[in-house]
Structure 1
Amino acid sequence: MLTREEFLKYLRGALNHLYDDPGYLRRSPLATLLGVADRFDAPAALRRILIEAIESLEPMGDEPPQSPAWQIYGALYYRYVQQLSRQQVADQLGISVRQLSRWQRAALETLTDVLWEQFDLERKLSESVEGPLEQGPMVAPTVDEELAWLKEVPPEAPVDLHQMLLAVLERIQPLATQYGVHLEITALEDLPYLAVHQLALKQILLNLISVAIHQVPGGTITISGKRLPQEVEIEIRCAGGHPGVAPVANNDQASVEMAYYLVNMCRGKLDLSIDQGKFDARLTIPALEQLPVLVIDDNVDTLRLLQRYTSNTRYHLIGTDDPNQVLTLVERFSPRIIVLDVMMPQVDGWELLALLKQHPLTHHIPIIVCTILPQEELADSLGADGYIRKPVKRQAFLAALDRLAGRREPVSR
């Protein structure tokens, strides 16, 4: 029978290979114990289970920052979910590396308790003494589960729209030929790279163009791109054709629904007009590093973490651990958003917030207070436009930036 120490060993191994080796996760005994070994997406399913179990340990907002609950959660979240080094995790938690080792052991024990109870492992292991470990019931992943990585994982690299469209048209050309449709690309010069997952954008375009082909057999589909202030608009238009010559595919509605879903996951926008013989789509995708964001935090590891969060997104992060440099950096970079830590040794962050809200250079810039303190109401009363409680998660950070990115600046300063 599997011992608790063996389970801890398997758990530690899976966490150490959470992102870098899908084969390891697929072969891990945890995949069998937690009922996902036979799924086609076993590595992703196991990864989701472990991350969700860690996130379930996040303390309530009124828990003191230095409490054991926060230390346990931070030891797991920063080390395994955020993949920080041991030194970086220790710095983030304000403890030594030696102390972190003790907290990590306690954290793994706590995580084991969560999984042990959630998956009823005591019963499963007792029933499998004479045979292989019993697997849980097979449940097909939902769309949200299957595609959660689009929000959780940063894009691997910026996307060149022209190269992307060439690849998409090559892939879909046989279908276009079958329906007698001519495909052409126009007006793609001087466009910025896109802050989007390449695979997601490719599937969005394949879905939309395949539906367009069904609408205009014998016609022409033109794809163009246009630079917007912070995004790129991709337009797919149809002309000519013989409506009704070819039957509309039964799965066109499903293709459109999936396109909308993927666009939303990629923080884009889709406007679509479709009818027999007519098709007009306008797809808006965030452009890469078009929006400067100034972050003031005395913890350089936090600055590095937020830099990772905004990598290959539409945000260009400028970080400083010196609050006295704020106005100089504002003049130099004209940030669209300021993210401010209020627990800094050099200055009182609350006073700095009040100053920035009154200064002619910064009074119009939205400010997000990012702190370990449970003081959202205070931040709001002092004029903050947003609040994020540390430890910061990537999705929450980008969502906060997204909420403020659409605000228009006053014309004058």
Structure 2
Amino acid sequence: METPNTISDETRDVLVHLYDYAYLARHPLLTRYQHLLGDNIAVAVQRLRRLVLDTIESLQPRSSDQAGNAIHRARAYVILYNKYVLGQDTAALEQELSLGERQIQREQRRAIDALAFALHERLTVLAERQDANHTHDALRQEIARAGTASEMFDVVDEIEKALASVTALAQQYDVHLEWRTDVARIAVPGFPSLFRQLLVAALSGAVRQPQARRIVVRLRRQRDGMQCSVTLVWSPTDAPALDGFPPDTCRALAEALGTELRIDQAKGRCCLAIVLPIPKEEYTIAVVEDNEDLIGLYSRYLSRHGYRLVGLTDSTTAVERIVELAPDAIVLDIMMRRVDGWELLQRLKAEPSLWQTPVAVCSVLNEPELATSLGADLYLRKPIRPTELLENLEQLLR
């Protein structure tokens, strides 16, 4: 079992043999922590030496140190660096620090104790990080084995299932759960089981927080997606020092789910927000255009923004096809063979099922007034970029 004296003795021993590869290769400190430093002995020795040197550097005085602490840190750093890194002897240290031999010995013991403590802390952090990585890897493998498939799922339903799973735990910790939403049931694309497990992990982690008094789960629609938030509420007088919240499991599940976690902490509360994408409503756009390449360009771009584009290159049958499609909007070229856009526009507006369907006229001609007089809702001069077409369609469909 490690004791403070053992750690300090081992640290002193490493310092004395800092550049002795053969000695460090069989040192107890390296043997005990080789699983953190690397399986290859040569690499492990280099990493141990680097870790010791970095830890020595971390002992330099900080601007926030009080005067007394700053003096001790400065002496500790000079002794450790000059003696064990540069190889300076005790006499030179006495002269540089203006201290006697006994004072140097006392400061050296303090310096080694401080280094041993800092080194032990760093090794502990490395061990915790490795354990967390192993947990994440195991979780990812389990998710992959489950073969979860993306599907449309009801967010409200999954939230209510998650709340039911942690109700008993919340009662055990005397934490009050609240569920609020002004959103009707809505389906989003994704992985329902992963979302539910993410929410269960967040809720159970929140319930276990010592200062938690109340946990509010809220679902609301925002511009960038559907946001489900888990908010811890505690007394403003309690110190908001959270212990491992959100749990590492949440981050691994969020990564697998492909969603975003946001943390917002303020006095008396901490909010973990899970953002889910909202599928945009798909609009059907009929494009009457005899240039197939242009139709393809528009289709590829608009399909990424929630639009289904149907190209109609034959103006003689366009009206009949549009009646069948019942599109949300129509984009109409003017200069076409056999039946031009002006005639088509008049026919479209004469159809009882289409007279309210918005029409955007796109042409190289400069005739916006004529288009408006025949019932067009928008006039766009060619050439028109896909981004510009998207902006105008969004305006047209509001």
Fold shared by both chains (TM-score > 0.5): no
TM-score tier after normalising by the smaller chain length:
0.3 to 0.5
Question: Which structure would you say has the larger RCO, counting Cα contacts within 8 Å and 6 or more residues apart?
Answer: 1
TM-score of the superposed pair, with normalisation by structure 2: 0.37
Q: Which has the higher helix share?
A: 2
TM-score of the superposed pair, with normalisation by structure 1: 0.36
